[in-house]
Structure formats: structure tokens, C-alpha cells
């Protein structure tokens, strides 16, 4: 399925009110001018749905965790203490270290991480994943589509993560390993104020998204049950 064909089918399923997904890819070339971003990048990433592309690099990702989860820098020593003793997201700093070690993050050898809305892509080839910003009704459709050809208990999964890890790190690793999991994210209380209150993220690594493009037409997205949700999404 081409990019334009996907956009037509996405609009047919979800209507015009559903934001088009955002792709991200590492590159040796920036997709747009390098601009400063807030310390938490999530607000800047969320705005890409409106059409302007975003390029992140080691120089404009200022958050210690953000530098780690974008794979630009190793984890700063202060992060485990901050996550456990300031944010209280994990019981001990050792738990934070163990968890980060288990993610096996490999630092990128490319200087840029580009976020581009799907209608501005020229090809699927270089993308790591597609990020959907989704209300519960939109999530219903995305999950239903994901479950259509996958009986695995973790076909859709939620893991402990910062906002940036939930949309970047897991998908990069999954894509690298040709995995089939999709990731429900943006549960991080620190990142949630930067997205609408009734919205989560649903990230599909490209290894899985390319499979799902082949099942889209036959899934429940175009059947009676979801058509009622489409009407409510578009009110």
C-alpha cells in the first residue's frame, strides 16, 4: 500500500477528525531547520501532527532522559536518582538502572532524528515507526486492527516508560528485531500535560506496520461496529 493509499484508507476508517500519524527516522540529513525545543520534547513532537516537521539532535535534546531515549547520549548519572527520589516513579535508583540496562539501548551513529507527518513522507523505507495520537475511540480502532491477525498476548503492550521512551525506544528496538508488538504510551505523568487530556499514543514499529497495511482493508475498521465510533470521533 502506498502512502497516499494509506491516507485515503485511514480517512475512510477514522474520518477527518483523527490526526494523521507521525513517522520518525534517524538520518544523516535534517528534515527541517534545527530549532530549540522545550526541555521535554513531547510538546514539540505532538505538534508535528499539525504539519510542521521536527528534527531532534544531541544539541537540542536537553533532557537527560530524552538524550538517552533518543539514543543520542548515555544515561546521565543523575537520572536514576531523579526518577526514584524526586519523581518516585521507581522504588530505588538500582531499579531504574536495571530497567534501563534491560532496554539495551544502542546509541545512534546518525546525527538527526526526524519527525514527519505521514502525508509529507516520500517513502516508507527509512521510517522506524508510526505514532498515532489517539482518543479512546481512535484507540479502539487501532487496537482492533492490531489484533486482527495477531493472537499474541502482547500484540498491544504498555511498559513503564517516560513519554519519549514510550514512542521512540520500544519501537526502535522492536523494528530492529522485526517484532510485531504495538505500544500504548504517554502514561508518564510528567509528559501528559503536553498532550490533550483525553489522548494517549499508539506507536506501531515499521516491522509491524507494513504487515498491518496488508490487513487494513479486511479488518473491522470498515464494518458496522466501528462505523458508529467513526461518527462519534467526527461528531
Is residue 210 within 8 A of residue 124, CB to CB? The reply is yes
The CA distance from 130 to 140, in Å, is 17
Do the domain assignments include residue 17?
no
Nearest to 108 by CA among 57, 178, 166: 57
Structural domain for 138, as ranges: 22-118+128-234
pLDDT tens-digit map of 179-205: 999 999 999 999 999 999 999 999 999
Do the domain assignments include residue 78?
yes
Do the domain assignments include residue 157?
yes
* Structural domain total, the chain: 1
pLDDT tens-digit map of 126-149: 899 999 999 999 999 999 999 999
Q: How open is the CA angle 160-162-31, to the nearest 5 degrees?
A: 130
The CA distance from 201 to 110, in Å, is 25
The CA distance from 89 to 202, in Å, is 22
Do the domain assignments include residue 147?
yes
Do the domain assignments include residue 4?
no
pLDDT tens-digit map of 40-84: 999 999 999 999 999 999 999 999 999 999 999 999 999 999 999
Do the domain assignments include residue 123?
no
Do the domain assignments include residue 42?
yes
The CA distance from 117 to 16, in Å, is 15
The CA distance from 176 to 173, in Å, is 5
Confidence band (pLDDT; 50, 70, 90) for 39?
confident
Percent of the chain with pLDDT over 90: 97
Do the domain assignments include residue 6?
no
pTM of the model: 0.95
pLDDT tens-digit map of 206-225: 999 999 999 999 999 999 99
Is residue 70 within 8 A of residue 168, CB to CB? The reply is yes
pLDDT (average), residues 14-41: 95
The CA distance from 143 to 20, in Å, is 16
Amino acid at each position: 500500500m502506498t502512502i497516499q493509499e494509506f491516507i485515503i484508507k485511514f480517512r475512510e476508517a477514522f474520518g477527518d477528525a483523527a490526526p494523521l500519524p507521525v513517522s520518525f527516522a534517524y538520518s544523516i540529513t535534517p528534515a527541517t531547520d534545527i530549532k530549540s525545543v522545550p526541555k521535554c520534547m513531547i510538546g514539540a513532537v505532538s505538534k508535528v501532527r499539525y504539519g510542521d516537521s521536527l528534527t531532534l539532535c544531541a544539541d537540542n535534546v536537553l533532557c537527560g532522559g530524552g538524550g538517552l531515549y533518543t539514543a543520542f547520549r548515555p544515561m546521565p548519572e543523575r537520572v536514576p536518582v531523579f526518577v526514584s527520589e524526586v519523581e518516585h516513579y521507581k522504588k530505588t535508583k538500582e531499579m531504574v538502572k536495571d530497567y534501563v540496562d534491560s532496554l539495551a539501548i544502542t546509541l545512534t551513529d546518525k546525527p538527526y532524528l526526524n519527525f514527519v507527518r505521514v502525508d509529507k513522507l516520500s517513502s516508507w523505507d527509512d521510517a522506524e515507526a508510526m505514532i498515532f495520537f489517539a482518543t479512546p475511540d481512535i484507540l479502539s480502532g487501532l487496537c482492533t486492527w492490531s489484533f486482527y491477525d495477531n493472537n499474541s498476548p502482547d500484540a498491544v503492550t504498555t511498559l513503564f516508560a517516560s513519554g519519549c521512551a514510550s514512542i521512540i525506544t520500544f519501537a526502535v528496538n522492536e523494528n530492529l528485531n522485526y517484532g510485531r508488538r504495538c505500544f500504548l504510551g504517554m502514561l508518564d505523568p510528567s509528559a501528559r500535560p503536553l498532550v490533550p487530556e483525553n489522548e494517549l499514543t499508539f506507536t506501531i514499529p515499521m516491522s509491524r506496520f507494513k504487515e498491518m497495511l496488508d490487513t487494513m482493508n479486511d479488518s473491522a475498521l470498515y464494518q458496522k461496529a466501528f462505523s458508529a465510533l467513526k461518527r462519534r470521533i467526527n461528531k
